[in-house]
Amino acid sequence: MILEQLQTIHSFGYGPESTVTPDDIAAKEKELGFPLPEALRELYLTFHPDDPLFSGEMHLIPLSLLQTCRRTCWSYTILTLLPFCRGEKYGYAFEVSRHIKKIPCPQGRSADDPEIFGLFVAPETAKEKKDLNGYMVPCNKARLSQWLVEWLSYEQTRAQPSIVAVNKDKVPHYSDLQKMIPHHFYEIPKEELAKAQYNFVTRYTEEPSRLLYGTILYAPTGYIGAQTDEELEALMKQLGFRYTWVKSQTGHPIYNAAPPEPPKERELLSITPVLEFLRAFAGITRTGAKEESIQRAEARLEAPLPLPMEEFYRCLPSSFYHSYNTIRPLSTLRKAKDGKLNFLEENQAVYHWAAELNSPFLYRRSNDGVGEWVPFGIIDGFLAAEFLWALACDEDLDLNLWEVPDFEPDMLKPGGKLASHLFPIANITEQIAAGNTRRLYQAANGQAVGLYDSLEQTFWFVTKDEAVEDQLDKELFPR
């Protein structure tokens, strides 16, 4: 079924040939009481049990350790599942059988190429026991054969000794990369394109160099792996992309993608002056949440909202709740058992952000079923920056949003190219930037707003008309 693709993926690794035999698989099938899907049998016949793919943070489950589990679906249906890939708590499985409660369980049988589910393989709460996701694994539905080829080739890319990363949204002529690394590990047949989608996009080339490319479909970062730094240096020089090193064998500086250091606790500041400046800048006259809506939310939560959050909802009209990221209306805010208020979802559902009552901290969690809330900033500065982003990405306002080309953080230091053109907003944007990864500025006598993202190391300008943009461009980048 996928044996040829698996052998190609295996050839890019360092693991020995598999020692699993058809007899081993037959014995396991007898123990389980049902035959394994063909794709899974081919997997175990290709990859050795000591291959790194069986021991990573998210790893394949060795043949000898396969065992079924049960989950309740729709409160009355019992599903028997076979997990085949897992991390510490979360994993992936396919359905073996299902039956109605109180009716004897039928003999297990797996489909030839079953759809897979994401689930908590080590659930700790009742909610985790009920969690069964067949729609995002991690992005879309998938059948076992396709998912195995995509995931294995993505993991093999990340396992190469030399790796660079590129931001897919920020490199011009990104399609050139597909021409340089043209071969798909898995191609959806044309007759299935209407009903099948990718979760990972993975490619490879064997001439003149053996290169791998892998990315999660909706993630902003793509990875290119090779056997040597020199192969990647030659490719990236030819492409002309901005990139960072993730693994290097010759001493290239390695990009640290870890989240920023946890912020230090400080008092929250009112961000109303900044929000009112941004409203006036964008020409917004509509109001946000009414006072009674805020009071109802606080009564339901049995505590006042953090001041910046209250101001954020009061100043931002609801029509901007879906401009880019998804902001939850006040009426849907609920305090979770851990005390978090999950109020914002990133536009590609990669991250969630939450506040906490009686706390200045902002928290972020990856939307992969295994992530935990991590302190990520202070809520006043975060919400001020998010307010600008909601306005800048709204199509009806027709604001101009543009990224400063070839930006370097040194441009913001005294004497830097941008420093003399940037000023604080309402004299507080410097203070509310403390503990946050984003900082707001004003420029061009208030006709432009700047946004610096230290995590992405990018700088954006938002302007109301092209004349201001042209003037800034001439002043900053004289030709």
Domain end, chosen from 349, 373, 391, is at 391
Winning range, highest mean pLDDT, from 68-82, 232-246, 361-375: 232-246
Residue 6 lies in a domain: yes
* Residue-number span of the structural domain to which 281 is assigned: 271-391
Residue 186 has what pLDDT? Answer: 87
254 found inside a domain: no
Distance CA 79, CA 82 (A): 10
What pLDDT score was predicted for residue 121? 87
* Percent of all residues in the chain with a pLDDT value above 90, rounded to a whole number: 58
Query: Do residue 464 and residue 353 come from a single domain?
Result: no
**Whole-prediction pTM:** 0.65
Q: Do 26 and 136 belong together in one domain?
A: yes
Does one domain contain both 226 and 340?
no
> What percent of the chain has pLDDT above 70?
93
Of the candidates 194, 213, 247, which is a domain's last residue? Answer: 247
pLDDT digits (tens, 9 = 90+) for 255-314: 655 556 789 999 999 999 999 999 999 999 999 999 999 999 999 999 999 999 999 999
Here the CATH number for the domain that contains residue 350 is 3.40.1580.10
d(CA 380, CA 24): 59
Q: How confident is the model at residue 193 (pLDDT cuts 50, 70, 90)?
A: low
CATH number at residue 221: 3.30.310
pLDDT above 80: residue 453: yes
Last residue of a domain, one of 391, 418, 438: 391
Per-residue pLDDT band at 381 (split at 50, 70, 90): very high
DSSP 267-296: -----HHHHHHHHHHHT--S--S-HHHHHH
- The answer to whether position 150 is within a domain reads no
Indicate whether 82 and 132 sit together in one domain.
yes
Instruction: Give the pLDDT score at 169.
Output: 73
The verdict on 279 and 236 lying in the same domain is no
Give me the number of domains the chain comprises. 4
Residue 366 sits in the same domain as residue 429? no
Say whether both 134 and 7 belong to one domain: yes
**68 and 105 both lie in a single domain:** yes
Asked if the structure places residue 206 within a domain, the reply is: yes
Q: Are 462 and 388 in contact (CB under 8 A)?
A: yes
Alpha-helical runs (H) found in 131-225: 144-158, 175-180
> Is position 67 within any domain?
yes
- Alpha carbon separation from 127 to 78, 119, 157 (Å, rounded): 16, 11, 34
Position with higher pLDDT, 179 vs 68: 68
